[in-house]
Chains A and B, each alone.
Chain A
Amino acid sequence: MTSASRTRPLADAGTYVVLVAAALLTLAPFALSVLTSLKAPVQFASTSPLSLPNPVTVENYLTLFDGSRVDFGSALGLTAAMVVVVLAGQLVFSIMAAYAFARLEFPGRDLLFWVYLATLMVPPVVTVVPLYLMMVQLGLRNTFSGLVLPYLLGSPYAVFLLREFFRGIPSELTDAARIDGAGTWRTLLHIVVPLSRPVIATLAIITVVTHANNFLWPLIITSGDELQVLTTATASLQGRFNANWTLVTAATTVAMLPLMAVFLAFSRRIVDSIQITGFR
């Protein structure tokens, strides 16, 4: 139906109307909450929620970062640290496992792969209570290690995705490397990884989005102010300053902005890569 050749003005107009309406509906909540976050609390209490900020003020944002009531600066830093650590661990360990499954022959391989596949079905909400208790036993409650450990050693999803891709790499390439005397590690690092850049990039994006936005696990494994990530800091702020919507919308804006910025900068690339993951 790519009918660029045929001109159907009516259909085209209809398409635009629907798509633009959908886009506006998507953007409206963001726009409204940003407007609110730029209002003084006094204005918010006395004028319509839809009114424009007058005067525009950044006091809500300053409150988030001045450390007096909440500390979004450290939440931002901690979220970044958590995402970086998890991302590095997941990529490295998942690539290793995927390569073993895709290209090495060893007893028990298929059975183990089934185990990995089966754990794809284990949802976080099911494991959260036992994981919390296990972390308590290990003394890791309310520690950075406790925050990242369950995700650090790779994910079955990543292994599955990478294995599919690695299997598609022509074996002549890896065989040639082996004949040249390259060991498993060198083959992996110098042949397989460079060839798999697109799928690794995709995986990285999904991992970053998933873990930057993770809420349930940080909610349960951390407490207090020191180990708050953006999601838990936002939730706790909303709990403390109930209907203080100017401050709360400033917090949600800060919580969403980093990933939105990344997304808008690389949107085409990211959208393409999401599509890759659904279908191969």
Chain B
Amino acid sequence: MRPNRARRLAIGITAAAMLLAGCSAPAASPSSAAPQENAQLVFRTWDENAAKAYDQTFAKFTAANPGITVKTEVVAWADYFTKLRTDIAGGSAPDIFWLNNSYLAPYARNGNLVDINATLGADAAGAWVPSVVKQFTVDGKLWGVPQTSDGGIAVYYNKKLVADAGLSEADIAKLAWSPSGGDNSLLTVAEKLTKDASGKTADQAGFDAKHVKQYGYNAAYDLQAIYLPFIGSNGGTYQDGDTFTFSNPKTVEAFSYVVDLINKHHVAPSAADTNTNGDFSRDQFLQGKMALFQSGLYNLANVEAGAKFDWGVVGLPAGPAGAISVTNGVAVVGNAASKNSAAVAKLLAYLGTAEGNQAIGASGANLPGVTGAQQVYKDYWASKKVDLTPFFSVLDNGTIPAPTGENFAAGYAAYDPILQEIFLGRKDVAAGLAEADAAANKAIQG
């Protein structure tokens, strides 16, 4: 059995070696060799609409930089950060890619990204939207070239459904809500706009909550469009630094209010529909089955393309602390391990110019993150006679910070099932949020 013992030993050694190799495997070192003549770069985004716009941008870029071609690939949001991490670790990450600030920190701290100031010069950031630049600054260094700046959250509405309920635009323009007494026009309006199969509205006796045919509003387990603005508008907090603060009493009140809209007042689709399908409310709105749809500029192009009815936009409903929205930019970042670092630097520089950032604005898909490129976007929507003011005026009230943190993914994964249950009405809001707090904060400590 000698050969066998030897083999077993060899297996053991191989395994140990592999583990050690794994231990000492930092990101591949960038080859900052002479600029390549020919380079094929890969760009990745999660946004279908943006992808089409980028294809135009890259065509222009290649025309100006013969030899450098860029291929666009789309990875669904649900898989985006799984693929990204495994690609970074596996050395197969795209050369440049979209990132939002919630997932930025670990890559920035670990040296996986191109240092923007060092590559493009310290002055480059002057051309970009300051709030997005701030979001992409970690430990005093800038890691991304702003591509979109989302504006704030506002409410799309279906003009016909609102008129049918006997409401005017003035009735819905300044909606307000309060968890304890106070102005609660959001609820009363949403009730008038919610109809069951027999045409009864949610504020009428005999309303059949089991067969809702038309929803008033899209209260749902939706981080950016719903629960962050509700938390902010009630004066609550989502995080303190990296730490989650779900048990903040103001936060608990905000969640209770949203959950009641769904499960008590039935003016919004069931969480069973919306928890796992983030597009459900948008699709209902586009199919004319929902009157008010609270969302951001990221859905503007979808609404424009998909809505076969007259629609408009009004401001975010105000809570006790005012109408406080979140604003969340997206930046394009460079892969520090790219074999074509010179070409990556060129492309990043181009995408940071008004010309390079214009295409995604020109199609109306996204509000550009380069200040000089924003005009095309505004022109586009002006030509469509869409008033974007509600998305921007809300930012004057101050904002609630977007999610962040080195281990945000782990924290999110820990609280996500608990919040789903809260929205389904299967867990008491206060107790559930305390539980979510504990689980998420334990997860981020690792």
Q: Give chain A's interface residues, CB within 8 Å of chain B.
A: 45-46, 69, 107-108, 111-112, 132-137, 139, 141-142, 220, 223-225, 236, 239-240, 242-243
Contact = CB atoms under 8 A, between A and B. Distances in A.
Contacts of A112: 4
A223 B21 contact: no
Contact of A236 (B75, B90, B287): B75
A136 B74 contact: no
A224 B42 contact: yes
A141 B92 contact: yes
A197 B1 CA distance: 35
A45 B22 CA distance: 50
B73 A242 contact: no
B86 interface: yes
A110 to B, nearest CB: 11
Contact of A224 (B44, B77, B89): B44
A142 B91 CA distance: 9
Contact of B283 (A69, A107, A108, A243): A243
A137 B90 CA distance: 8
A136 B18 CA distance: 11
A241 B96 CA distance: 24
Given A135-B90, A137-B22, A108 B1 contact: yes
B299 to A, nearest CB: 14
Contact of A239 (B25, B73, B76, B283): B76
Nearest to B77: A239
Nearest to B42: A224
Interface of B: 1, 3-4, 18, 21-22, 25, 42, 44, 48, 73-79, 83, 86-87, 89-92, 94, 277-280, 283, 287
A243 B280 contact: yes
B406 to A, nearest CB: 22
B87 A223 contact: yes
Contacts of A133: 18, 22
B76 to A, nearest CB: 3
B18 A134 contact: yes
A95 to B, nearest CB: 23
A45 B4 contact: no
Nearest to A107: B3
24 contacts: A45-B283, A69-B48, A108-B1, A108-B4, A133-B18, A133-B22, A134-B18, A136-B25, A136-B89, A136-B90, A139-B91, A142-B87, A142-B90, A220-B86, A223-B86, A223-B87, A224-B92, A225-B74, A236-B76, A239-B77, A242-B277, A242-B278, A243-B277, A243-B280
A55 to B, nearest CB: 19
A242 B1 contact: no
Contacts of B277: 242-243
B22 A111 contact: no
Nearest to B83: A223
Contact of B279 (A136, A225, A242): A242
A137 B86 contact: no
Contacts of A223: 75, 83, 86-87, 92
Q: Which of A69, A108, A240 has the most CB of B within 10 A?
A: A240
B79 A225 contact: no
